[in-house]
Structure 1
Amino acid sequence: MGSVKKVGIVHYRAGRTDGVSLEMEKRKTILQSLGVEVRMISGPVQRGSDFVIEELEFDAPEIREIKENAFGYFGNHHLSSARLMEKIHMVAQKIETAFREYHRREQFDALLVHNIFSHGRHIAAASAFARFARNTGLPIVSTNHDYYWEREEYQEPTSKSVQEYLDLYVPPAYPNIVHVSINSIAREGLLRRRGIDSVVLPDVFDFHQPPWVRDAFNADFPEMAGFSEQDLVILQATRIVPRKGIELAMELVAELNRHKSALEGKTLYNGKRITSDSRVVLVLAGYAEDSAREYRQWLEEIARHLGIEARFIAPRIGAKRSSNGDKRYSLWDAYVYADLVTYPSLYEGWGNQFIEAVFARKPIVVFEYPVFKADIQPEGYHYISLGDRVIREQSGRVKLPTSALQAAAEQTMKTLLSPETPRHLEENFAIGARYHDYAVMREFLQKHLCS
């Protein structure tokens, strides 16, 4: 690809099934198809990284301490401002030194960094790579999936020193760094707050790959996941964190359970016949971050309270299929067996699982979060709506208004049974391919890495 022969891709983690890891893999695939060597750089929580920097792990005790002392939300302010800044610079120096040595060996022509210059969870990493960028002049494309000010927990810096640091490095305004925002709302926010312009580049997907199908490898997936061929299978493919609003999917499953008799004896859009023995099963394929373990346990309690069948299968799902040791299925295998996909996120930077469901030609249930309404809905997809409003209870749980839940359940039943649904799913696929195929990313990389 012109003078660019070797590119490093940097993030806190790699090779997982979260949205950022998936986007990194897509860039790697596209660059390799253009003849570029690619190296993956991450912290120690990874699968398949070429170089590991221990200090890049955001859940490490030292990094959590910095985060919790830098932002008022966490209420953990035992470090003085001076001591906090000292710790930030110490960690940044370790990261920069490690990466400089790796760059000296590899001699990268450009870097792609993800969230390093934008997220609040690991602000020390930002100055490490900013100093590297300033001192080397290396071309860098910074994809900012999450700006710190977009999250409630990072909106109140604890001191003037922290705010000045954020203004300088999160993100930095250097001529050799091209900033990418993944939606129009984020772009406007960056421009308004920092006067930094950015390119809007939403998530992409390989719409030219073979369709995901049943085969010898995934034939035993239903047995592993605890459902039968006659069950109505609903997939929740996201990670398990509170902002994904997974309790809304559980509410919908419970509502569908109450109306299951209306489906009995009928055939769904995909040819599956529902019987009196059929169950409505929610399959949760995503993993829970360490910080979300309580949320996962709480979801299990909610499922029991609602009396629904919920299957948490993350330990058996990987970014890729594997037969070494415990068999791991890919996330794509989960889509193969789904009759319906739920996407009830309260907030997303864009929507990886939405576009995956579009490619898989599955009906999608969506909570209309702000970015969905601003950037995705206008593209013209068919979907089932959970509305755009929730009720927040004192416990922290979010619920749908009764009218929205009932309307979503009714629309879901109609969609599952409608002979028009296959046509609508094909139309969704065509829209997704038009706006989000790899060709969009390929053109962007060629333009910005070669200029």
Structure 2
Amino acid sequence: MSTPTIKSKIGVLHSQIGFDDGVSIVIRQIEEVMIRQLKIPASKIFYLCGRAGNGGANIFVHPQLWHQHWINRLMLKNYQRGYTDKQKFLIEKAIKRAQNIIAKFIQQTQIQVLIAHNTSHPVNFITSLALARYYQKDGFTPRYVLWWHDSHLERERFLHPSPQVQRYLLAGVPGPYPDFIVFINSLQWERSKSYFKTLEKRRPGFYRRLQHNHQVIYNTADLEINSVKSLITNPEIKRLVRQFLIGYRIKERLRERGLNIGNTLFCLQHTRIVPRKKIDFALQFCFALQQKFSSSSRFRGVLFFVSGYNGDEGEEHKKHLWEYFQKLQQSYPNAKVILLFAEDNPYSEIKFRHFPFVFAYLGGIATYFSEMEGFGNNLLEVLAAGLIPIVYQYPAFKSDIAPLGFKVIELSRYKLNDNFLNRVIYLLNSSSLRQSWGQHNLKILRRYFSHQTIATKLKLALGI
């Protein structure tokens, strides 16, 4: 394997790029660091994916690599019970096809480094196994850098594979082939040690080498504002707010419930619509909070807005949320809570990452009750807008984010009580406190989560 240099060509492999999922966001951030800090020309960065939100000469798209491709979904559907002979034949055929796609991409682009995102996760089964077989067959060029966002070792739903699936996981999800692994939180290395030790039988010395060839690189944040005060006078943010109010008919919807912008709490759920984000609990929080509003409070109702999209991770969750919302309406007959989804207006020009700025301008808050996250990209986006989140203490938050001193309201259990709700109301009743917390959070983001902070570690991972 030739030694990579700053002049090297870099390949990036993932299910999809250019969307609003956490991995796509990280891919965009890494590209920015490579170009601006490491001075790698954009023309030397190539992408291979199953689906792309944008086009370009350096982007190679093959639907077979998409995590929502039917054969990949088949593998996940039968994860615990295994596969029939016919299914095994179709799976092996798909892996071979993906392996050829990867080999052709590497041959065409002549890359020296390949950053493979989430080939540690069964959601990318076909691509992960295909990449492992490529290295098993064709040697160890280019340098294989695995960006470990998540894995089958961290999710309850993946902890009980069938014996057949377990063999696949050991062989290539990710298998014993990465030259370097980037973890996105400090818990992942400890959780994965036993898996890596098992791989010693397949590639002697792999675990020992990996002890010296892994690194934790936190997700970073786009810092677009210098202060929370600047939100109010920023003409671009004002324009986005106007678009939001018009595009989603906010004033009309509020008027129908006897509300207006001044007496409504705008609450943002800045995530995709999947069960582990606990959006149903966030809805319960909104109803319980609205019931606590007193006559002395300026708030009379809550508008709860989900900015992400539905149907990812093999789940159809939106229908459940609507049903649960209707059940809450029956339990709280006098509550004035409005539920909206960003994806219900496909013509909106507001991008996913801009919604936190809109809600910060409107004096709102955000909910982030996820039970599990690799790190918390969307949480960083909320903080970078000066918006204060209400956060459940998921493992990576407790280990890597909370110790840095962010000003947020934390929840340790999925249980609402008067003390917790009163803390939220106290924050809502003080715009100066929200502004102070927001400014404090921006300061921490600049210190620990700016793109520049990862340049040195990224250079080490790439081997340049």
Q: Which runs of 5+ in 2 are unaligned?
A: 198-206, 252-260, 330-336
Alpha-carbon offset, residue 311 of structure 1 = 0.7
- 2:141 maps to which of 129, 137, 142: 137
Alpha-carbon offset, residue 386 of structure 1 = 2.4
**C-alpha separation in 2, matches of 1:78 and 1:140:** 29
1:383 aligned onto 2:408: yes
Quick check: 2:12–2:115 contact (8 Å CA) kept in 1? yes
**C-alpha separation in 2, matches of 1:181 and 1:263:** 48
Matched with 1:336 is 357
Q: Cα–Cα, structure 1 residues 293 and 192, in superposed 2: closer, same or farther, change >3 Å? A: closer
Matched with 2:285 is 252
SS state of the match for residue 428, structure 2? helix
Quick check: 1:234–1:281 contact (8 Å CA) kept in 2? yes
Q: Cα–Cα, structure 1 residues 302 and 194, in superposed 2: closer, same or farther, change >3 Å? A: same
Quick check: 1:316–1:329 contact (8 Å CA) kept in 2? no
Matched with 1:322 is none
* 1:49-448 matches, cutoff 5 A: 50-69=59-78, 71-72=79-80, 77=82, 79-80=84-85, 85-116=88-119, 118-134=120-136, 135=138, 136-159=140-163, 161-174=164-177, 177-195=179-197, 196=207, 197=211, 198-207=214-223, 213=234, 214-228=237-251, 229-230=261-262, 231-262=264-295, 264-265=297-298, 274=299, 279-289=301-311, 294-307=316-329, 308-316=337-345, 326-338=347-359, 339-387=364-412, 389-390=413-414, 400=415, 402-403=416-417, 406-418=418-430, 419-448=432-461
Alpha-carbon offset, residue 240 of structure 1 = 0.5
TM-score, normalisation: structure 2 = 0.81
C-alpha distance after superposition, 1:125-172 (max 9, x if no partner): 21211233452421122111111122222222222x432331232223
Alpha-carbon offset, residue 263 of structure 1 = 5.5
**Which deviates the most, 12-21 or 192-201?**
192-201
C-alpha distance after superposition, 1:317-372 (max 9, x if no partner): 7xxxxxxxx34311233112211011010111111121112111111100111221
Alpha-carbon offset, residue 191 of structure 1 = 1.6
**C-alpha separation in 2, matches of 1:360 and 1:145:** 24
**C-alpha separation in 2, matches of 1:340 and 1:208:** 19
Matched with 2:258 is none
Q: CA RMSD in A?
A: 2.4
Quick check: 2:73–2:314 contact (8 Å CA) kept in 1? no
SS state of the match for residue 287, structure 2? helix
Alpha-carbon offset, residue 79 of structure 1 = 0.6
SS state of the match for residue 95, structure 1? helix
**C-alpha separation in 2, matches of 1:386 and 1:207:** 26
Count of aligned residue pairs for this structure pair: 410
SS state of the match for residue 219, structure 1? helix
**C-alpha separation in 2, matches of 1:327 and 1:423:** 32
